[in-house]
Amino acid sequence: HEATAAKELIGAELRLWKAKWKRESEGGVIFPSTAIGALGMCNDEVYPSVKKFLYLLATLPVRVASAERSFSTLCRLKTWPRSEMDEIRLTGLALLNIHRDLTINSESVIDRFSSRSSGRRRLEFVL
């Protein structure tokens, strides 16, 4: 019963908000073009739920192509056999694929890896 009452309250508040802006636009007031602009014009005593929705809308991250590319890259990487690949290597591969525009000096990578490695791997780089 409480959920139904809350839905009705929010619905009524949204109808009031819509009617407010219909009246405002007829009076020559320009509707804000951003969530932050609308947030500044929202009276939280009259429209508390609308104010919360606008606050959420204003603070949600915007989706960008690099984020989409990272998700598709991760999906591609997960299809590769990962029996010997630990999470750090997977993250490294994903970052290399996402940031393709970075140039990497392979000699410095080999030098750095060989100085940190021990045992058999170090011998492989020395040979």
Say yes or no to pLDDT of 18 above 80: yes
Domain ranges in the chain are: 2-59, 65-126
Q: By C-alpha distance, which of 61, 62, 24 is closest to 42?
A: 24
Distances (CA, A) of 94 to 83, 90, 103: 17, 6, 15
pLDDT above 90 covers a percentage of the chain that reads: 17
Say yes or no to pLDDT of 61 above 80: no
Cβ within 8 Å of residue 118, ≥6 positions away? none
**How much is the pTM?**
0.47
pLDDT above 70 covers a percentage of the chain that reads: 66
Cβ within 8 Å of residue 111, ≥6 positions away? none
The tokens describing 82, both together, are 């990962």
Q: How many of the other CB atoms lie within 10 Å of CB of 20?
A: 17
Say yes or no to pLDDT of 92 above 70: yes
Lowest mean pLDDT among 25-29, 97-101, 106-110, 121-125: 121-125
